[in-house]
A and B are shown apart, each in its own frame.
Chain A
């Protein structure tokens, strides 16, 4: 994808500076998120560039008081979803909206020591095996430390769906880690 330049006619210099101040600090997080979504560094790079381009073009109409970070992540995600990889992955997504109370654990958790023993590579594998709708929600919540409201804005879904997806995503990560470390039965997860 060729690097496109937004000309003066589209965004004023002042807006440009303001945009740069707000957006560039998000670049690393956006790239990391794009890599997880697309599974391809080259595609992630293109996604980030396109995200910056689109958001810069739309910055003139960006309303003050709106969450800028959620706005940028939403543009990135929408750009991904309309890409070829995104369309392919969207077709394989499984909506799984079980209740939020799903992640109930029993009081004795030998799994705690297993989770503590899990190395970074194993946790990355656990995140990688999640379907996109679970992967994005757990990354936004636990890595980007977004509030539920912010995640709901980014993904354009209700807060209740954020909660249920997050609970399901965590359950799957936990189950994967415990299974990988040799535990046959996950106590307390129904």
Chain B
């Protein structure tokens, strides 16, 4: 069987290592060669799978602390004593503040929400970067997460009158906790729905002004966050549909 002469360049193409002109020619070639198109798709999927699976270990916080200590020049004893005293005092103040926050049950986890907002912004800023799973079919997107997450969920059921279109999803992490990011389109806006196990990630978005519409809630042991530049009403409507789909 004749194999297309382009085929051996599949890896270079997928890695973006061809010269710009050759990269363009290959892209044009893909429209007329099903074999190369399939080979490229397979390589992309494999690359994506390795990218996700390769991020297996996270540096423990104590390693960060050890490295930062390594980078800190030695201080004179007197000065060191002062800093130890200052750090201890600061630590006590922080602990007191944290305890106060805990006792008043104000679980605002703004750091998590800020991280998720950052992720959403990154997605908006890089429209060319493919999602981990690209499909408008919930029966393709949902099974993709099997084995990758320690929980399951239901995307919004497609309905004719629904303004929301499922675009695909990503595997995301908050700290070391894996979660799903479902991406929906409403008109010209993208909506990210982040889903985590509530044991790992929880907390309401801050009450203050946010640069994006953010909403968070818990349901059946899962923590949901919606982050979008679309209107608050859109987020509310999608939240209602998700709650209904996961009853």
Interface, chain A (partner B; CB < 8 A): 3-8, 13, 16, 19-20, 24, 27-28, 30-32, 35-36, 41, 44-45, 48-49, 52-53, 56, 100-101, 103-109, 111-112, 115-116, 118-124, 126-127, 138-139, 141-143, 145, 147-148, 163, 166-167, 170, 173-174, 177
Contact = CB atoms under 8 A, between A and B. Distances in A.
Nearest to A45: B63
Interface residues of B, number: 47
Interface in B106-139: none
Contacts of B34: 107
A109 B38 contact: yes
B2 to A, nearest CB: 11
B49 A147 contact: no
A190 B53 CA distance: 26
Contacts of B7: 104-105
Given A127-B54, A142-B54, A103 B11 contact: yes
Interface in B58-84: 58-60, 63-64, 66-74
A180 to B, nearest CB: 13
9 contacts: A5-B73, A28-B59, A35-B56, A45-B60, A104-B39, A115-B49, A116-B45, A124-B56, A177-B49
B28 interface: no
A36 B54 contact: yes
A123 B63 contact: no
A186 to B, nearest CB: 12
Nearest to A159: B17
Contacts of A109: 38-39, 41-42
B192 to A, nearest CB: 21
Contacts of B67: 24, 27, 48-49, 52
Contact of B147 (A48, A100, A121): A121
Contact of A36 (B41, B49, B56, B74): B56
Given A142-B51, A142-B54, A5 B70 contact: yes
B158 interface: no
Contact of B58 (A32, A105, A108, A116): A32
B38 A32 contact: no
Interface in B29-43: 34-36, 38-39, 41-43
Given A36-B54, A100-B11, 8 more contacts: A5-B73, A27-B67, A30-B59, A49-B67, A103-B11, A107-B35, A115-B46, A126-B53
Contacts of A32: 54-59
Given A48-B63, A109-B38, A116-B45, A166 B53 contact: no
A105 B56 CA distance: 28
B17 A148 contact: yes
B93 interface: no
B58 A28 contact: yes
A172 to B, nearest CB: 11
B232 interface: no
Contacts of A122: 147
Contacts of B15: 141, 148, 166
Nearest to A17: B71
Given A24-B67, A27-B64, A107-B35, A163 B12 contact: yes
A138 B64 CA distance: 26
B50 interface: yes
Contacts of A24: 64, 67-68
Contacts of B12: 163
B200 interface: no
Contact of A142 (B8, B36, B47, B73): B47
Contacts of A20: 68, 71
Contacts of B72: 5
Pick the 5 closest A-B CB pairs, nearest first: A119-B147, A107-B35, A123-B53, A143-B54, A31-B59
B70 A120 contact: no
Contact of B8 (A6, A44, A104, A108): A104
Interface in B137-159: 144, 146-148
A43 to B, nearest CB: 12
